[in-house]
Structures are given as C-alpha cells and as structure tokens.
Amino acid sequence: METGYALIESKIADKIGDITLNNPSKHNALSTALIDELCAALEEMLLAQVRAVVLRAQEGVKVFSAGHDVRELPTNGRDPLTYDDPVRRVIRMIELFPAPVIAMVEGSVWGGACELVMSCDIIVAGDDSTFAVTPAKLGMPYNISGVQNFLNAGGMPLCKEMLFTAQPISVRRLIQQGIVSHAVPRNQLESLTRSIAEQIAKNSPLVISLLKEELRLLSAAHNLRPETFERVQAMRRMVYDSEDYQEGIRAFFEKRAPKFQGK
Ligand code: YXS
C-alpha cells in the first residue's frame, strides 16, 4: 500500500513500513510540512500494526537531512525549540511507536536530524556517512530532553565532542560508541536493513512493544526537580534572547562563519 505525500514517500508491505524523506532541493530539511507528513505516515503505520518501520532518504543522497529548517526558527524572542517543535513531536512519536524504527542512513546528517536518527531503535548507515550536531555553530539553545537523548545514545565524551565542536563526525566513531549498529557500503544497506526488519517482523510484536517501552522508561528515568528544570529554562532563555543567537541565524543565511561574542 503506497500513500501519496509531497515531501516523503510511504509504503507498507509484508507488515513492514517504509518511509523515504524526499525533498532533495532542501536536503530534506525538517520543515513543519515534512514533519507533518512523517507523523501522518507513522499514524497510518500504527493503524496498520506494522512490525517494523524503515526510515530512509532517497537512494544515493549526499545529505540524509540538513536538520531543522532554519527558515522556520524564530528570531523574535520566542523559544526556538519548544515541546511542540515539529522535530520534538516526531522524535516523541518514534520513541512511543510500538514497533522498532530502523534508520537507514546515507550521506551526511545535520543538527536535529542527528537526534531524529538517534531516536530510532536501530541505525544502519553507509560507511561514508557523517553526523554533525550543530546547535553551538548556530547559537541555538538546544533543549534538555534533546541533550538527554544524545547523552543516552552516545555517552558523555563523544556527546560533548559532537556538541562542542559542531563538526561532522564519521560513522566509524559512532560505530565504536555503539550508537550506529552497522556501517556498510551503500550498495549493501538495503539488503542488510531488510533482513533486520524481516527478522523483527517474525518475532512477537507484543513482547517487542513491551521491551521497547521498558527500555524507553529506563533510559528516561532521570529525577529532575522542577526548580532545576526551571533553572535550565532560564539559562536557555538567556541564550535565545542573546545577540549570539541572532548572529548564528544571520550567519547561516549569509553563508558565512558566525562571529559569536558570548552575549
Ligand atoms: O540558498 P538556497 O535557497 O538554494 O537554499 C540552500 C540552503 O539554504 C538550503 N538549506 C537549508 N534550508 C533550511 N534549513 C536547513 N537546515 C538547510 N540546509 C540547507 O538548501 C539549499 C541548498 O543548500 P546548500 O547550497 O548549502 O547545499 P550544499 O550541498 O552546498 O551543502 C549541503 C549542507 C547540508 C552541507 C549545507 O546546506 C548545510 O551545511 N546546511 C546546514 C546544516 C545545518 O547546520 N543544519 C542544522 C540546522 S539547525 C538544527 O537542526 C537544530 C536547531 S540545531 O542546530 O540546534 O541542531
């Protein structure tokens, strides 16, 4: 069964869902429109009770996804990354989806798209893939649940290096850290991903759904006093109210390196 979307492709066959990001002119930037289609496709797959979902980009892409659509990031003093931010919505949907979501990655992954990929249950990547977590380059006050996802996925040292340098990290580093399960030549990605999805689809969906939720709850089990959370929000507000945040966005559109002043 194929469903017509403008920015993604979606199909279900043999109880396995397949979603392809398909907005190459904008490098699959995670715009609200693309995320809305992604969420709609996942809703359909939920109703169809698929046993696994594969999330991919068009075959042979240079860029898997360029991350948040920077054109949608507010510069009027509003928090740019709130609970209802499109990327946050789809990440929660993937985390709560009862069946495993397998990210099949080709090309480079940027910004919020790294968190999107890491929110998937299994990552299979081309051996030339890179991952760049870019809030520090953009002056962006990343939100604490997103930082927790990176920390849960990658561990403190690599998490700090990726966040502080904002530079592309090779998939080899992420394999060493156990973030990415397999890195293979691009021409092997399809067969490997398919075999993993088919193996999962043969197992008990009820048990897998229970295991996935148990693992989600355990990884999210961090006691954070409300006052602590409010202090973090105040720290984030200082950032998104800063001149550096405006400079980061301006530099992006002017295609130049940002000059941050620390204020
Ligand atoms: O100039 P035109 O109109 O043709 O548009 C260009 C780019 O502006 C556009 N584009 C984007 N538009 C909105 N949001 C984006 N994230 C984005 N990325 C690219 O796509 C058109 C072609 O891009 P161009 O000319 O740069 O292509 P390229 O092949 O030379 O380079 C591809 C990339 C992906 C290396 C380059 O586009 C790039 O570095 N993009 C930004 C990657 C990035 O820093 N993403 C983080 C976005 S912010 C985010 O995700 C979070 C909020 S955070 O930063 O906190 O993690």
Tens-place pLDDT, residues 126-139: 999 999 999 999 99
118 lines ligand 1 (CB under 6 A): no
Q: What are phi and psi of 126, to 5 degrees?
A: -65, 150
Ligand 1 atom nearest to 67, measured from its CA:
50
Give 204's contacts (C-beta < 8 A, 6+ positions apart).
none
135 lines ligand 1 (CB under 6 A): yes
> Mind listing the domains of the chain with CATH numbers?
2-186 (3.90.226.10)
Say what the pLDDT of residue 227 is.
85
User: What's the rounded mean pLDDT across residues 216-233?
Assistant: 84
d(CA 28, CA 55): 13
Distance 66 CA to ligand 1 centre (A): 5
Tens digit of pLDDT for each residue in 138-171? 999 999 989 988 888 888 999 999 999 999 999 9
Residue 220 reports pLDDT greater than 90: no
Distance 136 CA to ligand 1 centre (A): 15
Do residues 41 and 10 lie in contact, with contact meaning Cβ atoms separated by under 8 Å? yes
pTM given for the model: 0.92
142 is catalytic: yes
pLDDT band at 1 (very low <50, low <70, confident <90, very high): low
Give the residue, out of 25, 26, 87, with the most ligand 1 atoms within 8 A of its beta carbon, to mutate for a pocket test. 26
Say what the pLDDT of residue 262 is.
82
Tens digit of pLDDT for each residue in 60-87? 999 999 999 999 999 888 999 999 999 9
pLDDT band at 200 (very low <50, low <70, confident <90, very high): very high
d(CA 232, CA 81): 13
